Structure 1
Amino acid sequence: MEFPIKELRNNILVNSEGDVWCYYRIAPQDYAYLSENEKVGFQRKLETLLYGSYQAYHLLRITNTKDLDTFKPPMNNKKLLLVAEFVWAKMKEFARSFYQDGVLEEGFYIGVQITPVESTISVIKDILKGAGSLFTKAIPEIDQAVLSMEREVYSFLSKIYKPDRLKQREVGYLTKRNYWKGIRSDFDVEREASTFWCSGQVSLESRYLRVAQDEKEVIHAYFVVSSMEFENNGMNFDYIYATQDLSVPVDLSIRIETMTNEVAQKEAVEKRRSLEGQAMHQAEAEAYVNPDLSKRINQMMDVEDEFRSSKEKPMLKASIVYGVVADTIEEIQIIEKELKERLRGYRIILTRPIADQADLMASFIPGAAPYIAPDYIRVMEPEAISSGVFGATDSIGSHMGFLLGVAGSQGRFVFFDPSQGPKVDPDNPTATSSPSVSITGIPGSGKSVTANLIGIWSAIFFGKSIFTDPKFDRRAWAEELGLFLPPDLRELFMSEVYIRELGKGEDDAGILDPFITQNNPERARMMALEVLSYLLRLGVDDFGYTMLSEACSFTRHIANPTLNSIPTILNNWASWQLNYKQVTPNSDEIQLASILARRISSCKDHAISNIFFANPEDLPVPLRFDYSINVVAVNKLQLPDVNLDRSEYTIGHQLSTVVLMCLTAAVEAFITEYPSEFKFIGNDETWAISSTPQGRRMVDSLQLLGRSMNAAIYPISQKYEHIPNTEVIGAKFAGLARGEEATRIIEYFGLEPSEYLESQIAGFEPGEMLFQDIYERTGTMQVLAIFIELEWALNTSPDRPDLDTYIARQMARMEA
Structure 2
Amino acid sequence: MRRSKATVKGNLKSIADTHIDGQAAALIDNIGDNQVDYRFFIGFKLLLNDRELSAKGVWHDIMLGIQDFLHEFNEKYTGDFMVMNNSEVDRFRKVARFLADKVSRRFKIRPLIKDDFGYLLEHLYGMSGQDYEDYQYHLPRQKNEQDTVIKKYDLIKPTRSLIEQKQRYLIITHGFTESYVTYMALSDIVGELDFPGSEIFYFQQQQFDFPIDTSLNVEIVTNKKALTKVRNKKKELKDLDNHAYESNNETTRGVADALDSVDDLEAELDQTKDAMYKISYVIRVSGKSYDEMKKRADQVLDFYDSLNIKLVRPFGDMLGLHSEFMPASKRYMNDYIQYVTSDFIASLGFGATQALGEREGIYVGYNVDTGRNVFIKPDLAAQGLKGTVTNALSAAFLGSLGGGKSFSNNLLVYYAVLYGAQALILDPKSERTDWAKNLDFMQDDINIVNLTSEEANRGLLDPYIILSNPKDSESLAVDTLTFLTGISSRDAERFPTLRKAIRNVTLDPQPGLLKVITELRREGTPIANNIADHIESFTDYDFAALLFSDGSTRRSIALDRKINIIQIADLVLPDADKTQDEYITAEMLSVAMLMIISTFAIDFIHADRSQFKIVDLDEAWAFLNVAQGKALSMKLIREGRSMNAGVYLVTQNANDLLDEKMKNNIGMKFAFRSTDINEIKNTLTFFGLDAEDESNQHRLRSLDNGECLFQDIWGHVGVLHFDYIFEHLYKAFDTRPPAQITGGE
Same fold (TM over 0.5): yes
Which residue in the other structure is 1:190 paired with? 134
Which residue in the other structure is 2:675 paired with? 738
The answer to whether the aligner puts 1:261 opposite 2:193 as a matched pair is: no
Which residue in the other structure is 2:110 paired with? 165
Secondary structure, counterpart of 1:107 in structure 2: coil
CA–CA distance in 1 between the matches of 2:260 and 2:171?
35
The answer to whether the aligner puts 1:443 opposite 2:401 as a matched pair is: yes
Q: Bigger radius of gyration, 1 or 2?
A: 2
CA–CA distance in 2 between the matches of 1:445 and 1:639?
20
CA–CA distance in 1 between the matches of 2:508 and 2:290?
84
- Out of 398, 410, 432, the residue aligned to residue 474 of structure 1 is 432
CA–CA distance in 2 between the matches of 1:731 and 1:314?
43
CA–CA distance in 1 between the matches of 2:115 and 2:383?
20
CA–CA distance in 2 between the matches of 1:144 and 1:553?
70
Q: How does 1:793-804 map to 2 (within 5 A)?
A: 793-800=732-739
The answer to whether the aligner puts 1:770 opposite 2:709 as a matched pair is: yes
8 Å CA contact 2:366, 2:723 repeated in 1: yes
Is the alpha carbon distance of 1:308 and 1:744 closer, same or farther for their aligned partners in structure 2, counting shifts above 3 Å? closer
8 Å CA contact 2:484, 2:588 repeated in 1: yes
8 Å CA contact 1:173, 1:189 repeated in 2: no
Which residue in the other structure is 1:200 paired with? 159
Amino acid in the other structure paired with 2:551: P
> In the TM superposition, what whole-angstrom CA distance separates every residue of 1:469-521 from its partner, at most 9, and x where no partner exists?
11112223343x23xxxxxxx4x322222221113444433333344444555
> In the TM superposition, what whole-angstrom CA distance separates every residue of 1:61-108 from its partner, at most 9, and x where no partner exists?
xxxxxxx54555722242x23322222222223222321233223234
Amino acid in the other structure paired with 2:221: M
The answer to whether the aligner puts 1:224 opposite 2:185 as a matched pair is: yes
8 Å CA contact 1:116, 1:146 repeated in 2: no
The answer to whether the aligner puts 1:76 opposite 2:9 as a matched pair is: yes
Which residue in the other structure is 1:26 paired with? none
Which residue in the other structure is 1:582 paired with? none
Which residue in the other structure is 2:343 paired with? 383
8 Å CA contact 2:521, 2:528 repeated in 1: yes
Amino acid in the other structure paired with 1:250: I
- Out of 476, 490, 498, the residue aligned to residue 447 of structure 2 is 498
1:639 Cα deviation from its structure 2 partner:
1.4
8 Å CA contact 1:500, 1:632 repeated in 2: yes
Is the alpha carbon distance of 1:177 and 1:800 closer, same or farther for their aligned partners in structure 2, counting shifts above 3 Å? farther
The answer to whether the aligner puts 1:133 opposite 2:81 as a matched pair is: no
Is the alpha carbon distance of 1:429 and 1:780 closer, same or farther for their aligned partners in structure 2, counting shifts above 3 Å? closer
Amino acid in the other structure paired with 2:85: G
Is the alpha carbon distance of 1:451 and 1:308 closer, same or farther for their aligned partners in structure 2, counting shifts above 3 Å? closer
1:730 Cα deviation from its structure 2 partner:
2.6
CA–CA distance in 2 between the matches of 1:497 and 1:118?
68
Secondary structure, counterpart of 1:322 in structure 2: strand
The answer to whether the aligner puts 1:348 opposite 2:309 as a matched pair is: yes
Is the alpha carbon distance of 1:417 and 1:193 closer, same or farther for their aligned partners in structure 2, counting shifts above 3 Å? farther
1:346 Cα deviation from its structure 2 partner:
0.9
Secondary structure, counterpart of 1:319 in structure 2: strand
Q: How does 1:785-796 map to 2 (within 5 A)?
A: 785-796=724-735
Which residue in the other structure is 1:11 paired with? none
Which residue in the other structure is 2:144 paired with? none
> In the TM superposition, what whole-angstrom CA distance separates every residue of 1:147-189 from its partner, at most 9, and x where no partner exists?
45543432x21xxx5x153463664465445356x53413323
CA–CA distance in 2 between the matches of 1:236 and 1:94?
35
Secondary structure, counterpart of 1:374 in structure 2: coil
CA–CA distance in 1 between the matches of 2:201 and 2:583?
57
8 Å CA contact 1:612, 1:662 repeated in 2: no
Aligned pair count reads 689
CA–CA distance in 1 between the matches of 2:366 and 2:388?
28
**Unaligned 5+ residue runs, structure 2?**
69-82, 141-154, 241-251
1:669 Cα deviation from its structure 2 partner:
1.5
CA–CA distance in 2 between the matches of 1:169 and 1:661?
56
Is the alpha carbon distance of 1:143 and 1:349 closer, same or farther for their aligned partners in structure 2, counting shifts above 3 Å? closer
8 Å CA contact 1:423, 1:432 repeated in 2: no
1:635 Cα deviation from its structure 2 partner:
1.2
Secondary structure, counterpart of 2:424 in structure 1: strand
Is the alpha carbon distance of 1:71 and 1:302 closer, same or farther for their aligned partners in structure 2, counting shifts above 3 Å? farther
**Unaligned 5+ residue runs, structure 1?**
1-67, 280-290, 483-489, 574-586, 807-816
Secondary structure, counterpart of 2:158 in structure 1: coil
Amino acid in the other structure paired with 1:91: Q
TM-score w.r.t. length of structure 1: 0.74
8 Å CA contact 2:192, 2:308 repeated in 1: no
Segment drifting more, 611-620 vs 492-501: 611-620
Q: How does 1:524-535 map to 2 (within 5 A)?
A: 524-535=473-484
1:620 Cα deviation from its structure 2 partner:
1.9
Which residue in the other structure is 2:416 paired with? 458
Is the alpha carbon distance of 1:226 and 1:405 closer, same or farther for their aligned partners in structure 2, counting shifts above 3 Å? same
Which residue in the other structure is 1:337 paired with? 298
Is the alpha carbon distance of 1:131 and 1:390 closer, same or farther for their aligned partners in structure 2, counting shifts above 3 Å? closer
8 Å CA contact 1:178, 1:361 repeated in 2: no
> In the TM superposition, what whole-angstrom CA distance separates every residue of 1:277-301 from its partner, at most 9, and x where no partner exists?
9x9xxxxxxxxxxx99989977984
CA–CA distance in 2 between the matches of 1:400 and 1:70?
6
Amino acid in the other structure paired with 1:323: R
Amino acid in the other structure paired with 2:130: D
Segment drifting more, 753-762 vs 524-533: 753-762
- Out of 712, 723, 732, the residue aligned to residue 657 of structure 2 is 723
Is the alpha carbon distance of 1:301 and 1:726 closer, same or farther for their aligned partners in structure 2, counting shifts above 3 Å? same
CA–CA distance in 2 between the matches of 1:322 and 1:520?
68
Segment drifting more, 556-565 vs 430-439: 556-565
8 Å CA contact 1:509, 1:620 repeated in 2: no
CA–CA distance in 2 between the matches of 1:423 and 1:677?
13
1:707 Cα deviation from its structure 2 partner:
2.4
8 Å CA contact 1:70, 1:400 repeated in 2: yes
Which residue in the other structure is 1:685 paired with? 619
The answer to whether the aligner puts 1:631 opposite 2:592 as a matched pair is: no
Which residue in the other structure is 1:317 paired with? 278
Which residue in the other structure is 2:544 paired with? 609
8 Å CA contact 2:36, 2:211 repeated in 1: yes
1:229 Cα deviation from its structure 2 partner:
4.4
Q: How does 1:540-579 map to 2 (within 5 A)?
A: 540-543=489-492, 544-545=494-495, 561-563=511-513
1:692 Cα deviation from its structure 2 partner:
0.5
The answer to whether the aligner puts 1:539 opposite 2:488 as a matched pair is: yes
> In the TM superposition, what whole-angstrom CA distance separates every residue of 1:183-210 from its partner, at most 9, and x where no partner exists?
3413323342765954323535224445
Amino acid in the other structure paired with 2:727: I
Is the alpha carbon distance of 1:430 and 1:383 closer, same or farther for their aligned partners in structure 2, counting shifts above 3 Å? closer
CA–CA distance in 2 between the matches of 1:420 and 1:720?
24
Segment drifting more, 411-420 vs 249-258: 411-420
TM-score w.r.t. length of structure 2: 0.80
